[in-house]
Structure 1
Amino acid sequence: MFVLFFSFSILLSLMFISSKSPLFLSMTIILQTITISALLALFTVSSWFSFMLLMVYLSGMMIVFIYVSSVASNELFYMNKNNLIFASMIITPIIIMMTMNPIQSEITNTMTTNYISPSITKTIKIFSEPMYMMTILLIIYILLAMIMVVKNSSFSSGPIRSYK
């Protein structure tokens, strides 16, 4: 599973470097974020941190994506075949090296082993009793931020770009 996520992350990085379309750049960043968050969830004790990181980052990227899609022209995206061949030539040896390496299985076993004591693990959980006040504070903060954003964005001023 690690090899799949790692090779997909490298492919996305190469596609990001070779693209020129702003919409494709933002979609590549979103997919890279999802990949990194999934890797983080695989190798940590509690996956709530990776989920929260993903939600915060994706909410920011949604705003950027909406702004870029309203400003950028509707141009077609063409993938250069040379870049695709170059990306496959880089990813193939990496996958072969990672699958044939005997140390790789020991590394993944070491990374997934739980070295944290049970008392610390209880405070890591987001909805545990020691963390409930922080959770309620975060919920109220997000609710107030959402109300302020809705009140500030009035429909009288209209969209970013007018459609004629």
Structure 2
Amino acid sequence: MKLLIMNLMLMSNLIFISLNHPMSMGFIIMIQLILSTLLMNFYTQLSWFSLILFLIFIGGMMILFTYMCSISSNNIILLSPKMILMIYSFILMNLLMMMLLNWNQYLMNNWMNLNNYFMNLNIQQNSMNYLMKMFNNYSMNLMFFLIIYLFILMIMVNKITNLNMGPLRKNN
């Protein structure tokens, strides 16, 4: 599965190079973000790091999306036949790779699958221990302070922004 995700990341990079519309580039960056957080989750066995990375990137991508929607004109995204053929060949190659990887997985016996199940159960218990250490009594006050600080900061930014000025203003 890790090999498949790395292959998809490589292919999305190759597709990104040939794109010229900002919205399609943003879509490829979103795909790259999802794939990189999945890969990070597979390697670390903890979802907190990948979740924090995902939330930070999604926040930045939302800002970029609103900026691109307000600045760029309504251009139609045109894909050349060569680009469509390249995308279809990448999809076909990934499907073949998934079939080959899954075929090897089906050939394993049930004892190995049962052993992997108990190993994953042990990893999940260790993950719960990490989760408990993240929200302990010593860091609880700091965490509440940060939550309240970010909430007040969000309210202040909303009050400071003037909707009648700037690139997102209404045209009357």
1:72 is matched with 72
Structure 1 residues 89 and 81, CA, compared in 2 at 3 Å: closer, same or farther?
same
CA contact (8 A) 1:71 1:161 kept: no
The question of whether the paired residues in 2 share the 8 Å contact of 1:123 and 1:131 is answered with: no
**Alignment coverage as a number of residue pairs:** 155
Paired with 2:133 and 2:15, the residues of 1 have a C-alpha distance of 36
Q: Deviations over 1:39-93 (max 9, x none)?
A: 1122213211110111111111101111111111111112223234445667839
SS in 1 for 2:163: coil
CA deviation map 1:115-149 (0-9, x unaligned):
9xx6xx54785333343233223312321221121
User: Quick check: which one's helix share is greater?
Assistant: 2
Which residue, 150, 155, 161 being the options, matches 1:142?
A: 150
Query: How far apart are the structure 1 equivalents of 2:166 and 2:19?
Result: 32
The answer to whether the aligner puts 1:154 opposite 2:162 as a matched pair is yes
- The higher radius of gyration belongs to 2
2:163–2:169 contact (8 Å) kept in structure 1: no
TM-score (norm 2): 0.68
Residues 71 and 167, structure 2, Cα contact 8 Å, conserved in 1:
no
Amino acid aligned to 2:157: V
Deviations 1:7-60 (A, max 9, x none): 221222112111000111112112211211121122213211110111111111
SS of structure 1 residue aligned to 2:44: coil
Alignment partners' CA distance in 1, 2:71 and 2:153: 25
Query: TM-score w.r.t. structure 1 length?
Result: 0.71
Q: Which runs of 5+ in 2 are unaligned?
A: 105-115
RMSD: 3.6
Q: List alignment gaps of at least 5 residues for structure 1.
A: 103-108
- Among the aligned pairs, what percent are the same residue? 29
State the one-letter code of the partner of 1:28. Answer: I
Amino acid at match of 1:16: F
> Are the counterparts in 2 of residues 70 and 161 from structure 1 also a CA contact under 8 Å?
no
1:38 counterpart letter in structure 2: L
State how far apart, in whole Å, the 1-side matches of 2:34 and 2:90 are: 22
1:49 matched to which residue of 2? 49
